[in-house]
Each structure stands twice: as structure tokens, then as C-alpha cells.
């Protein structure tokens, strides 16, 4: 397991923010007066502005690795939020994603282990990361004060240490494996779908033929397709293997089309 940390997505705003100031918007925008967490391409077509350099850099980073799980940490509330931020109807109703059960599990796991977190926008990073990056992201708002002082950090660490460690462990939730041809060669860009879950952009294997799919325990039908190969459907059982520090491993071999 590898852990990647981005200390600040908005260095301009970080410099402008005033520690101890619990309200206000001075640290929210970059030097171009853009809210970066409202600057990502929207899966429902509501992107209203050009992409900022910081946004493009994060997008390149998302696609440079096969990230599985992500937390975007903010201040200004105490809540764990998850996709979708938006929907294709533009309404404010609950916007359920195809993997809503997984996101609800992750959010409950975090909030229930937090000492005071409540036990819920368009163009946000979490939707982009999920839809285009194949990575399940929660937005974690960890302090009511938007810009807390350094002296408060031990308190926030005490509140979040256990749920953060448990959250990282959830990367082992679900299913992983490789898609190979009959000679054992990896097949890249094979689509790996779960029957009944219509993701806006199908999950695909990486250059090593690897796929990662966060799923709560249960029985699923795995649908695997690749250009030039016969598609295959397989029923798989996903067990709780988190404490074994590995997801359930299920490799798939595809036969070339005749």
C-alpha cells in the first residue's frame, strides 16, 4: 500500500488565509480569484470556467496512478461528504452514485469513529476523482473554524487519528486483480463493471492489467470486456478481508475473439 499526500492544493489561498479567522473567504480562492474546488470538469456538464493550473496539475496527478481511495480535507464544518455533489437534473435532492452503498459505508465508518462529527455543489474534486479517476473520495470537513490556529492542531489530531487510520485501511475493501490473455499477458484498458452499477465512465485496467474495485461484502457479477477478446461474466463473493490487509484477489483470463 502506498500513501500519497498533497499538503495544499491551493498555495495562494493558504498564504492569504489568516490563522484563527473562522469565517470569511480570503483563503478560499487562488490568485486568479477562482475557487479551485469548483473548477473541476463536472460529470453533468456544468463546468462554467477554464481550468486553473492547480486544477490541471491535480488532474494529471489523479491519472498518473491507479489511486483507489482518497480524502480531501477541509475546514469550516464537521462532516464527511461523498459523491455526487451534483446531478443531471440540477436539483438539490440526494444525488445517489452507482456505488452509494460503498460511500455510505466509508462515511459512516469515519464519522462513527470520530469524537464529534455529525452522524452529508457542483464541479468538485470528489466527483471528478470518482468518475474520471476511478478513485473513491470523501470530503472530510474537520473543523468548524475555517482557518484554525496551530495551537489547535493537537486537538484535531486527537479527534481524527483513529478514523484517519481506519479510513486508510479501507483501501483493502472489495475486489482487486488482473485481466490477462491466455498467454498471461496483461490487458490494459479492459472495462471491469459490476452488474447493476452503471458508472458514468466504466472502470478500466491500468497498463499492468490491474483493476481495483471497492465493494462492501456480498455477491456480485463481474463483467469484463476488452477490444479483440470475448467478454466474460463471473459471479464473485466479496468477503471482509480488511484485517488481512488485502482485498479479495480475482484474476480474469480473456480469450481472443475468433
Q: Which residues are catalytic?
A: 141
Question: Measured in whole angstroms, how far is the alpha carbon of residue 90 from the centre of its chain?
Answer: 22
For residues 188 and 37, what is the distance between their CA atoms, to the nearest angstrom?
31
Query: Which helix (DSSP H) or strand (DSSP E) does residue 111 occupy?
Result: helix 100-113
For residues 69 and 255, what is the distance between their CA atoms, to the nearest angstrom?
31
Among positive and negative, which fits the CA dihedral 210, 214, 217, 218?
Answer: negative
With contact defined as beta carbons under 8 Å apart, do 143 and 78 qualify? yes
Spatial neighbors of 91 by CB under 8 A, at least 6 apart, are none
Amino acid at each position: 500500500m502506498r500513501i500519497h499526500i498533497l499538503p495544499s492544493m491551493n498555495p495562494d489561498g493558504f498564504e492569504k488565509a489568516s490563522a484563527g479567522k473562522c469565517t470569511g473567504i480570503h483563503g478560499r480562492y487562488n490568485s486568479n480569484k477562482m475557487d479551485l474546488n469548483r473548477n473541476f470538469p463536472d460529470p453533468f456538464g456544468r463546468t462554467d470556467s477554464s481550468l486553473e493550473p492547480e486544477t490541471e496539475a491535480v488532474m494529471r496527478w489523479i491519472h498518473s496512478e491507479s489511486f483507489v481511495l482518497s480524502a480531501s480535507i477541509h475546514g469550516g464544518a464537521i462532516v464527511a461528504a461523498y459523491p455526487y455533489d451534483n446531478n443531471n437534473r440540477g436539483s438539490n435532492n440526494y444525488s445517489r452514485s452507482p456505488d452509494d452503498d460503498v460511500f455510505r459505508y466509508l462515511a459512516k465508518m469515519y464519522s462513527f469513529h470520530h469524537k464529534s462529527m455529525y452522524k452529508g455543489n457542483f464541479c468538485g474534486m470528489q466527483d471528478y476523482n470518482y468518475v474520471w479517476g476511478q478513485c473513491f473520495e470523501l470530503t472530510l470537513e474537520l473543523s468548524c473554524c475555517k482557518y484554525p490556529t496551530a495551537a489547535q492542531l493537537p486537538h484535531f489530531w486527537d479527534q481524527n487519528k483513529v478514523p484517519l487510520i481506519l479510513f486508510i485501511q479501507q483501501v483493502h475493501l472489495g475486489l482487486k486483480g488482473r485481466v490477462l490473455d491466455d498467454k498471461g499477458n496483461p490487458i490494459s484498458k479492459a472495462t471491469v463493471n459490476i452488474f447493476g452499477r452503471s458508472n458514468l465512465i466504466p472502470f478500466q485496467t491500468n497498463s499492468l492489467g490491474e483493476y481495483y474495485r471497492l465493494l462492501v461484502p456480498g455477491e456480485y457479477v463481474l463483467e469484463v470486456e476488452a477490444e479483440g477478446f470475448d467478454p466474460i461474466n463471473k459471479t464473485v463473493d466479496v468477503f471482509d478481508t480488511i484485517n488481512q490487509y488485502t482485498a479479495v484477489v480475482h484474476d480474469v483470463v480473456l480469450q481472443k475473439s475468433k
